[in-house]
Chain A
Amino acid sequence: MQRIEASKKMFIKKNKEITAKELKLIANKIRQDIIKMLFTANSGHTAGSLGMADIFTALYFKILNHDPANPQFEERDRLILSNGHICPAQYACMANAGYFPEKELLTLRKLNSRLQGHPNKLDLPGLENSSGPLAQGVSIAAGYAYAAKMDKKDFTIFCLMSDGEHQEGQLWEALMFAGNKKLNNFIGIIDRNNIQIDGYVENLMPLEPLRQKLEAFNCNVYEMNGNNMQEVVITLENVLKNRDKTTRPSIIIAKTAPGKGISFMENKYEWHGRPPKKEEAESALKELQAERERINESDQ
């Protein structure tokens, strides 16, 4: 592990002071990194990674109690990514937060890389789990939350899920367990982007009424626009504030636009599992750079 710049380390330490504008700039940088990574890898999942860039940024740069210089510290919050295929967004956040050098991002999916196509916990310090086959992370997060309760630990287990993976039976086994065992330290975030590989979720195998399903499984349900940084931060802080006032697990349904930030990718399921070609990557980066200038000029 390379030495982390002091400024970066200070920046990441549960930065209470960070503004929405700063977070937006980081999310913009994360999106640019994702485009570069997927273009270089020439494979990977573009839409979901871009859509979840804001939430990953809010978690890694504002919400999570963590320390890139000491990834194993006991009291850290645990971020369990269940839909492992959107790991480019997580890798980009981890590198920008100081877990590993940013230049390593371009090794994504290459031979001997620590950045596997789907995350491998044993390869990269800072990853809490290995994932790929959908819904497995939800059970792992529930087990982790159960252990934390047994040990009277105060940290929170954040479990990131896709909406498509709610078609897996195991996910509901896990939520039934989390509700029954009163795991209020379990906070789930669903990337409700309505796409899966073969089409739109609501056409292919609809989840609605999703809120009612989750409530019927004894979860507190929140909703937010997962691409509005202010709303993401406020909602996450609110859920955390309410955590100990309830015995239920909390689930946030985060409405996101797959491919968010790139006009020709947004809301197109075709971008679920393909990387940008050269011209596409160039025009995507151009759009993101223009957006960066707009954020810089804005008040917040």
Chain B
Amino acid sequence: MNLNKKLFLVEDLNKAEKVATRDGYGKGLLELGEKNKNVIGLCADLTESVRMNWFAEKYPERYIAVGVAEQNLAGVAAGLALAGKIPFASSFSVFSPGRNWDQLRVSICYSKANVKLCSSHAGLTVGEDGATHQALEDIAITRVLPNLVVIVPSDALETKKATLAIAKYKGPVYMRFSREKTLVYTTEQTPFEIGKALLLREGKDATVIACGIMVAEALRAAEMLAAEGISVDVINNHTIKPIDAETIVNSVKKTKAVVTAEEHQKTGGLRGAVLELLAERNLHFAAGYVAVEDTFGESGTSAALLDKYGLTAKYIVEEVKKVVKKKQVV
């Protein structure tokens, strides 16, 4: 066991509780309601689903229902921000930024409007609702926008911390989180800082860089690999943009092999961000990934979907073994 002691992580993942990251958002928002009178909650008809209901019930005068209108959701949030408020505008990732990308681009990012676009139900773990509701492209279409910070927190506690942190940060933010209950592997003491990736576990054979719910899978994979004598760095890269170049580059310089893991299309998301960075640095390394293979999802249970589409610890293990072998050839 070589977990980074400074991060106060849960030592035995089998004992970790399961909480949905959206719950972390809801709790963070509720706390913000008390802390900052300028925080406004806006929602496009999914208040309970995104867990804004706790905020809405306690601070009804600062909660705005916009109806099923994601473009207006983004625009009204921009107007509130220009007037000095800190709007948290929420829907599902497929709709926001899926249906309001132009509004995000011009009304929010171009003006650096202080809007926090916070979207739930990202990824395959939406489950039974099927492909139309499983956002697998949102990281790609947001991280390309100037002035926008993109955050994918990895468990419920981190999502809460991220919610509090983005309220303090002045500028546009997109944050995506999920519906399904997932492992809470961090503790209250685990630090969170926008733009600062966390080296959760140290090894020498490969670097596993993950975001969102795939971070806990990466930690499980690291344990499985350790049993076979392969040791890996595991990095929680919760901030996709601005990416923490230092942490990532230092690790890959050491291991010369990298596997990214994300609940997103293989193109344009975390993998894209990491490989763009490493290519610029002219490093020699072997690369692999765990992500969705340029395809849509489908209905099914969350667990069955993750398994079918190859997004669990065992697939990370396989991919790490491949890159370790590949780098020996290189």
Q: Which of these binds chain B: A45-53, A168-176, A240-248, A263-271? A: A168-176
B310 contacts the other chain (Cβ, under 8 Å)? no
Are B76 and A139 in contact (CB-based, < 8 A)? yes
CB-CB under 8 A from A27, the residues of chain B are: none
| Residue in A closest to B103 when the chains form the complex, CB atoms | A136
Of A121, A142, A148, the residue contacting B75 (CB under 8 A) is A142
Tell me which residues from 106 to 133 in chain B have a Cβ below 8 Å from any Cβ of chain A.
106-107, 110-112
B84 contacts the other chain (Cβ, under 8 Å)? yes
Whole-angstrom CA separation of A128 from B84 in the bound complex: 12
Are B80 and A146 in contact (CB-based, < 8 A)? yes
Are B69 and A140 in contact (CB-based, < 8 A)? no
A96 contacts the other chain (Cβ, under 8 Å)? no
B78 contacts the other chain (Cβ, under 8 Å)? yes
Chain A nearest CB: distance from B62 CB in Å? 8
B77 contacts the other chain (Cβ, under 8 Å)? yes
B227 contacts the other chain (Cβ, under 8 Å)? no
A-B contact count (CB 8 A): 101
| Residue in B closest to A131 when the chains form the complex, CB atoms | B106
CB-CB under 8 A from B87, the residues of chain A are: 143
Are A177 and B66 in contact (CB-based, < 8 A)? yes
Whole-angstrom CA separation of A254 from B76 in the bound complex: 25
A144 contacts the other chain (Cβ, under 8 Å)? yes
| Residue in B closest to A139 when the chains form the complex, CB atoms | B75
| B side interface size, CB within 8 A | 28
B71 contacts the other chain (Cβ, under 8 Å)? yes
Chain A nearest CB: distance from B90 CB in Å? 15
Are A129 and B103 in contact (CB-based, < 8 A)? no
Of B62, B75, B80, the residue contacting A136 (CB under 8 A) is B75
Of A132, A145, A173, the residue contacting B72 (CB under 8 A) is A173
Chain A, interface size category, equals 20 to 34
A290 contacts the other chain (Cβ, under 8 Å)? no
A89 contacts the other chain (Cβ, under 8 Å)? no
A83 contacts the other chain (Cβ, under 8 Å)? no
Q: Which of A128, A148, A151, A174: most chain B CB closer than 10 A?
A: A174
Are B79 and A146 in contact (CB-based, < 8 A)? yes
Whole-angstrom CA separation of A151 from B38 in the bound complex: 10
Are B84 and A139 in contact (CB-based, < 8 A)? no
| Residue in A closest to B70 when the chains form the complex, CB atoms | A173
A234 contacts the other chain (Cβ, under 8 Å)? no
Are B78 and A132 in contact (CB-based, < 8 A)? no
Chain A nearest CB: distance from B111 CB in Å? 5
Are B102 and A140 in contact (CB-based, < 8 A)? no
CB-CB under 8 A from B79, the residues of chain A are: 139-147
Whole-angstrom CA separation of A140 from B110 in the bound complex: 13
Chain A nearest CB: distance from B85 CB in Å? 5
Chain A nearest CB: distance from B47 CB in Å? 16
Are A130 and B110 in contact (CB-based, < 8 A)? yes
Of A128, A150, A169, A176, the residue contacting B82 (CB under 8 A) is A128
Tell me which residues from 148 to 164 in chain A have a Cβ below 8 Å from any Cβ of chain B.
148, 150-151
Whole-angstrom CA separation of A151 from B66 in the bound complex: 19
| Given A146-B79, A177-B76: A120 in contact with B71 (beta carbons within 8 A) | no
Could you jot down 9 A-B contacts, CB within 8 Å?
Answer: A129-B111, A131-B106, A142-B72, A146-B76, A146-B80, A147-B80, A173-B67, A177-B69, A177-B72
Give 5 nearest A-B pairs by CB, closest first.
A143-B79, A139-B75, A147-B83, A143-B76, A173-B72
Chain B interface residues toward A at CB < 8 A? 61-62, 64, 66-67, 69, 71-72, 74-85, 87, 102-103, 106-107, 110-112
